[in-house]
Each structure stands twice: as structure tokens, then as C-alpha cells.
Amino acid sequence: MRSGLINRAVIVAVFLLLLSFGAGQRATGQWATPSVSSASSIPQAQLIQPEELNRLLKTRGVEKPLILQVGSHVLFAEAHIPGSEYAGPGSQDAGLAALHDRVAPLPRKGFIVIYCGCCPWNRCPNVGPAYKSLLDMGFKNVKVLYLANNFGADWANKGFPVETGR
């Protein structure tokens, strides 16, 4: 008798867990409004494709952006865009503070490109908060490098230049 009650209690608990998980999935699924700090909240017009950034970096006589990596330091040390700087993870207060300190003295019309590349775009925890922070500081010319899968697949594996270390 007691084991039957325990089995039913376990079944009910699992059912309730699945039900709450399903509700959470619907709330954060493809039809939900993206959080203001998610990568998906960044306007399409503010994205720069890898091919476009690579072409820009090779073009002589054009303004080069300040390129800031706002993901993990391990990823940056492994491989990053030549000339880019590590600015700290955008999903953490310390990373946002480091980003703020780096850009605070810059003119608000300066050209800045941020990127992460830690994971697929729709799961990136870093570019959304970093982008929002730059806008909140008054920066007007901010682009976010769109890396659909990750830095390796969408930049390095396409033969675009990389540096290691730091």
C-alpha cells in the first residue's frame, strides 16, 4: 500500500514538473517576445555579417571599428579577430563594468563592433546585455557581429583571420 502511494506521488511530481517545464518552454519559445537583453532583441539593422566585417577590415582608407569580444576569456585566448580586445563577458556585472570602463572615454559616435561566438546566436547570453549597455551609454554606431552557430564555425572555419593568446 505504501509503495503504491509513493509511486503515485512520484508520478504526480513528474507530471507537474513536465507541465511546468512545458509552460516555461512556451513562454520562451520562438513565438515569445525576446528579452531586451537577448541576442534576438538586437535589431537586424545593427547586425554585421562575418563576410561584411572581414571585407571592412581588409579595405584600406575606411574607418576601422573598435572590435570588442564580450564573451569568455577562454574563447578569446583560444582564437579571436585580429586587433580585437577582450572586454569581459556581457552576461556578468564584472564584464559589463569592464566594457563600460573601456569605452567610457570614447566619442559616442565612434564605430564599435561587439561579438561573442560562444554558442548559437539564440542562446548567447553575452551580446544582448553588452549591446544594451552600449546603447544606454549613448553610443550611436554599434554593430553586433552575427555568428549564427559560434566563432569557430562562422568565422575561423570560413578562413577569416584569427589571432590567439592574450
Q: What is the pLDDT of residues 5-58, one digit of tens each?
A: 344 433 433 333 333 333 333 333 443 344 557 899 999 999 999 999 999 999
> Residue 7's pLDDT is what?
42
Region 104-130: what's the mean pLDDT? 96
> Residue 86's pLDDT is what?
97
Round the average pLDDT of the chain to a whole number and report it.
84
> Residue 30's pLDDT is what?
42
* DSSP-derived secondary structure for 31-83: TSPPPTTSGGGS-GGGEE-HHHHHHHHH-TTSPPPEEEE-S-HHHHHH-B-TT
Rounded to whole angstroms, how far apart are CA atoms 82 and 53?
A: 12
Question: Is pLDDT larger for residue 139 or for residue 2?
Answer: 139
Q: pTM for the full model? A: 0.78
The answer, yes or no, to whether residue 110 has pLDDT greater than 50, is: yes
**Do you know the residue count of the chain?**
166
Q: What is the pLDDT of residues 77-96, one digit of tens each?
A: 999 999 999 999 999 999 99
What single-letter DSSP state applies at residue 122? G
Rounded to whole angstroms, how far apart are CA atoms 158 and 51?
A: 9
